[in-house]
Amino acid sequence: MSNYSENPFKWRHFQSDLILLCVRWYLRYSLSYRDLEEMMLERGLQVDHTTIYRWVQQYAPELERRCRPHLKPTTDSWRVDETYIKVKKQWVYLYRALDSQGKTLNFWLSPTRDGEAAKRFLLKTLTASYCSQSRVINVDKNAAYPKAFSELKAAGSIPEGCKLRQIKYLNNIVEQDHRFIKRLTKPGMGFFSFETAWRTLQGFEVMNMLRKGQLQGVEKGDVRGQVTLVAGLFTVAI
């Protein structure tokens, strides 16, 4: 349980609605921390970019945790793929899974791209409470997936009737979705630690889910509804 469940903004110098606005904008749009510092200055508010960075690090994982119980059900046809993220000038691997309708199922950041990483990610997704039981898992030609799939199936972690398909074109939907996340990471010019990358990516991913209409009571394109939902999750008046 998070330490911020009761009052996540306790002891903060700035108002909770301003903090949430900066966090939400950073996680939703292709902005740098300095961009947001200037945007707040236009509103007559002096907020240092390092302060906004600390807010994102603190509240992005909390936003993801609070959104998870409100996710809509997904389909049983999955698309699994990984993309590259730069951390300390080194490439690491962001594993991502979407369903056949483009809804994000899960994501996981790994320093390696191998059978063990694939296995851990598949298991993480299979055990997520909001994910429908998988009927088919579509992957690319990465040889790590068949091995991971076979081991998990032998262990009983994958439903007996579930199939693995290595058909690259079926993964176009997840490859297109990668681009949205990658676009958000560009203004920051990479991350300085694995931990800060993971915290920020949790926020990017959950705001992408919200943008796609994956949370109950809010449809895709309902921007005001999205703002209201996030504020409500943190009990912030807007």
Per-residue pLDDT tens digits of the chain, which is 238 residues long: 344 456 777 656 678 999 999 999 999 999 999 999 999 999 999 999 999 999 999 999 999 999 999 999 999 999 999 999 999 989 999 999 999 999 999 999 999 999 999 999 999 999 887 777 899 999 998 999 999 999 999 999 998 899 999 988 888 999 999 999 999 998 877 799 999 999 999 999 999 999 999 999 999 999 999 999 999 999 888 7
| Residue 4 falls inside a structural domain | no
Residue 121's contacts (CB-CB under 8 Å, 6 or more residues apart) are 80, 95, 97, 106, 108, 110
Q: Are strands 90-99 and 77-87 parallel, antiparallel or unpaired?
A: antiparallel
- Give residue 10's pLDDT: 66
Stated length of the chain: 238
Residue 2 is predicted with a pLDDT of 42
Q: How many domains does the chain have?
A: 2
What is the C-alpha separation between 230 and 34, in angstroms, rounded? 23
Indicate if 59 and 89 belong to the same structural domain: no
Are both 141 and 205 inside the same structural domain? no
What pTM value is reported for the model? Answer: 0.92
Q: Which domain holds residue 214?
A: 16-70+193-233
Q: Domain check: are 82 and 66 in the same one?
A: no
